């Protein structure tokens, strides 16, 4: 479980979406530990707030409490259980065994797996055969084993462990892969089941230095850049609620998803208008395109197989965040049932975002310009070699966007001297990075001025060359089509047609009589290059289409299903849509997958400069006009040329 470290509770009872406090987490662990059905060897895989039903939260008033409960995933003697613990009654309210599934790999298992591999005589012998005597310099990362239909131990809890040789703490650790050596590890018993050896590849020269002292002289001509807000920030935080420039939302965090935003709304003309009920990262997968034995099973589902919330960073002022910062701490329960505080995991701050709007009257030379400011809430997670930042940005014009920042160290392979890779790029001497893709699926629970919404797919089309209608052959117009049923609700992107998806409330209209809407504008997207019958596509069917719509069901939270670790597939979005539910004028959920196609470059080594991908949500008729007309002129004379308003 994870918990945002919040300020004093709001007046009245705490909001039902307030994350569990450290004391509540301790109570959950105590309740489970004293239950006769569990013992001292129980592994606390997940402990998090069980969110009350959507309709109950919407109807909630501060004088009426809702049940305070925790959702738990527990492992006992290789068996997986789900439990709901009532904090009101101090007992387990519901318990069910989940046979045949594997929860995500825990951080504690990462550590213990490395120790088990480094103690294994088969693995040590494989390194000695390569002339590596000091095996203590090796590092071992467990990767999820996946599911390919050829597993020798399908009922075991498995990881596939890869090895690198590290020179010192000054290198990234991944610059000298011991290629061809894999250890298959039983994570429950911490036993190496088999060491696979595909033959020796010479170790590349060590080139992965990344600390300031190791890379050589740093640039001497970079002057200080100070970001100050002498009067403090424009946002306010009360409990886990944030208010800023008309926007309001609640902050949550889970071990699996990381940052969760609840009840996103915009205050317009004195009325708080709902936009999204819930928004979070649902799943990730990073498929590699190299068919060789070292990389062909690298298809990491970083949400379902690891949990990005568990792997979140503690952020540092001046490094990860600049300006006046509001941090949120996170509490999580370890595998042993101890409550652990992770400080400064979530960062909230304001940024200058360039020009908001501007017009110059060329006749009078009068200029009006407004600076755009955005509110940013974010967190970073490190999943082995890669680092991912997840940013939700809110703007004064009622729009918002989601931005993913990809950085960290490439997963690389070794090559003999003089050899060139077909399925990757040489990034350093004898070192290559395989081509791969990153897919990020976001689950968005819209509530555009209410729960009864309809999603339209909108394309722009050219008018037919009819002399009576289009005499100069220049006409084009938008065409919208309602997505009426789940049978038709898995959609392709089409940037050549300027395709967007409009989430509309047909029962609420603006001043022009148009139904209020928000549209999802795709950012970077790409098709998967794995074949349709590949094991990857059976497990990650959600990447086959970038946009999906389903009827709202609180049991359907994850694009690849509840338990993707070692799962053969078939769960998740295809299973949800198999219900063939109607989608018009009802409570819907939209799922969007950001796809980043990564052909590595030498410039990506040893640590990759940040690459960005994402999508936007923009109001379409939600307001009667530009909601940012009331933003005041810039307060600083340096922000505007002479003649502009505010100078």
User: Which CATH number fits the domain that encloses residue 146?
Assistant: 3.10.450.40
Helix, strand, coil content of the chain in percent (nearest 5): 10, 45, 45
Q: How far is CA 362 from the centre of its chain?
A: 46
What is the pLDDT, as a whole number, of residue 163? 96
The DSSP letter of residue 582 is B
Tell me, yes or no, whether 122 and 154 share the same domain.
yes
Residues 152 and 248 in one domain: no
Among 97, 119, 144, the domain boundary falls at: 97
Residues 54 and 140 grouped into a single domain: no
Q: Are 153 and 186 in contact (CB under 8 A)?
A: yes
Confidence of residue 13 (pLDDT cuts 50, 70, 90): low
Last residue of one domain, picked from the residues 56, 79, 97: 97
The phi and psi torsions of 244 (rounded to 5 degrees) equal -160, 120
CATH number, position 321 = 2.70.98.20
Question: Is residue 12 in some structural domain?
Answer: yes
Residue pLDDT, tens place only, 507-537:
999 999 999 999 999 999 999 999 999 999 9
Tokens of 143: 């990767």
Tokens of 251: 């902050």
Give me the phi and psi of 302, to 5 degrees please.
-70, -20
**pLDDT tens profile 247-289:** 999 999 999 999 999 999 999 999 999 999 999 999 999 999 9
Residue 172's closest CA among 353, 521, 407, 367? Answer: 407
Q: Is 630 a catalytic residue?
A: no
Which of 5, 290, 302, 604 does the annotation list as catalytic?
302
For 60, counting Cβ atoms within 10 Å of its Cβ (0-12 exposed, 13-18 middle, 19+ buried), the class is: middle
Which residues span the domain enclosing 186?
107-197
Residue 219, C-beta contacts closer than 8 angstroms, at least 6 positions apart? none
pLDDT tops 70 at residue 636: no
CA distances from 132 to 127, 176, 185, 202, 389 (A): 5, 12, 22, 11, 36
The predicted structure's pLDDT at residue 9: 36
The secondary structure of 533-558 as a DSSP string is: TSHHHHH-GGGGSSEEEEE--TT---
Please report, for residues 282, 436, 495, 529, 537, the alpha-carbon distance to residue 526 in angstroms, rounded to integers and kept in the order given: 18, 12, 11, 9, 15
Compute the radius of gyration of the chain from its Cα atoms.
26
Is 386 a known active-site residue? Answer: yes
Let me know: does 591 contact 577? Beta carbons within 8 Å.
no
The per-residue pLDDT for range 339-369, each reduced to its tens digit, is 999 999 999 999 999 999 999 999 999 999 9
Same domain? 88 vs 116? no
Same domain, yes or no, for 257 and 115? no
Structure tokens at 130: 């390569």
Please pick, among 266, 386, 518, 563, the residue that the annotation labels catalytic: 386
Task: Tell me: do 444 and 566 sit in the same domain.
Answer: yes
153 lies in the same domain as 250: no
Flag whether 222 is in a domain: no
The reply to whether 89 and 139 lie within a common domain is no
Number of structural domains, the chain?
Answer: 3
Cα–Cα distance, 148 to 75 (Å, whole number): 24
**pLDDT on residue 411:** 96
């Amino acid at each position: 479980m994870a918990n945002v470290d919040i300020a004093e509770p709001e007046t009245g009872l705490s909001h039902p979406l307030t994350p569990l406090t450290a004391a509540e987490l301790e109570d959950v662990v105590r309740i489970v530990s004293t239950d006769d059905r569990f013992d001292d060897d129980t592994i606390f895989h997940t402990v998090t707030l069980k969110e009350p039903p959507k309709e109950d939260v919407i109807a909630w008033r501060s004088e009426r409490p809702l049940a305070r409960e925790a959702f738990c995933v527990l492992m006992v003697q290789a068996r997986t259980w789900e439990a709901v613990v009532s904090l009101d009654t101090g007992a387990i309210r519901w318990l069910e065994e989940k046979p045949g599934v594997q929860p995500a790999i825990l951080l504690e298992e990462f550590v213990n797996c490395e120790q088990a591999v480094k103690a294994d005589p088969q693995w040590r012998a494989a390194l000695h055969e390569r002339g590596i005597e000091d095996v203590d310099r090796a590092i071992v990362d467990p990767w999820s084993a996946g599911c390919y239909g050829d597993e020798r131990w399908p009922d075991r809890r498995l990881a596939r462990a890869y090895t690198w040789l590290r020179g010192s703490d000054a290198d990234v650790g991944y610059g000298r892969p011991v290629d061809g050596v894999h250890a298959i590890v039983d994570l429950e018993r911490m036993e190496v089941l088999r060491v696979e050896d595909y033959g020796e590849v010479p170790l590349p020269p060590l080139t992965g230095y990344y600390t300031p002292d190791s890379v050589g002289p740093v640039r001497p001509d970079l002057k200080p850049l100070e970001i100050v807000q002498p009067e403090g920030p424009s946002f306010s935080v009360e409990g886990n609620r944030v208010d800023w420039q008309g926007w309001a939302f609640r902050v949550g965090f889970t071990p699996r998803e990381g940052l969760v935003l609840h009840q996103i709304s915009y205050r317009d003309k004195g009325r708080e208008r709902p936009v999204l009920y819930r928004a979070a990262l649902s799943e990730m997968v990073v498929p590699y395109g190299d068919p060789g034995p070292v990389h062909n099973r690298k298809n990491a589902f970083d949400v379902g197989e690891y949990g990005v919330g568990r792997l979140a960073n503690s952020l540092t002022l001046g490094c990860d965040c600049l300006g006046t910062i509001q941090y949120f701490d996170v509490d999580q329960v370890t595998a042993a049932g101890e409550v652990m505080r992770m400080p400064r995991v979530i960062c909230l701050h304001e940024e200058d975002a360039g020009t908001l709007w501007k017009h110059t009257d060329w006749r009078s030379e009068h200029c009006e310009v407004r600076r755009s400011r955005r509110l940013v809430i974010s967190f970073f997670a490190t999943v082995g070699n890669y680092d991912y930042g997840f940013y939700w940005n809110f703007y004064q014009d009622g729009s918002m966007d989601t931005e993913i920042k990809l950085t960290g160290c490439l997963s690389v392979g070794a090559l003999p001297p003089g050899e060139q890779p077909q399925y990757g790029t040489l990034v350093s001497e004898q070192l290559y990075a395989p081509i791969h893709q990153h897919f990020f699926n976001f689950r968005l629970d819209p509530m555009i001025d209410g729960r009864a919404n309809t999603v339209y797919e909108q394309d722009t089309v050219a008018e037919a060359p009819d002399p009576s209608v289009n005499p100069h052959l220049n006409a084009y117009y938008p065409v919208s089509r309602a997505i009426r049923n789940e049978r038709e609700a898995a959609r392709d992107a089409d940037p050549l047609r300027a395709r967007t998806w409009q989430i509309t409330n047909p029962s609420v209209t603006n001043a022009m009589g148009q139904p209020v809407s928000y549209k999802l504008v795709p950012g970077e997207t790409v098709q998967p290059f794995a074949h349709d019958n590949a094991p990857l596509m059976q497990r990650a069917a959600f990447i086959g289409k970038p946009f999906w719509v389903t009827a709202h069901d609180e049991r359907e939270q994850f694009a690849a299903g509840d338990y993707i670790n070692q799962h053969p597939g078939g769960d998740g979005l295809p299973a949800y849509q198999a219900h063939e539910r109607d989608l018009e004028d009802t409570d819907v959920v939209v799922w969007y997958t950001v796809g980043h196609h990564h052909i590595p470059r030498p410039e990506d080594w040893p640590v990759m400069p940040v690459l960005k991908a994402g999508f936007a949500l923009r109001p379409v008729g939600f307001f009667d006009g530009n909601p940012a007309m009331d933003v005041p002129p810039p307060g600083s004379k340096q922000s505007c040329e002479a003649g502009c308003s505010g100078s």
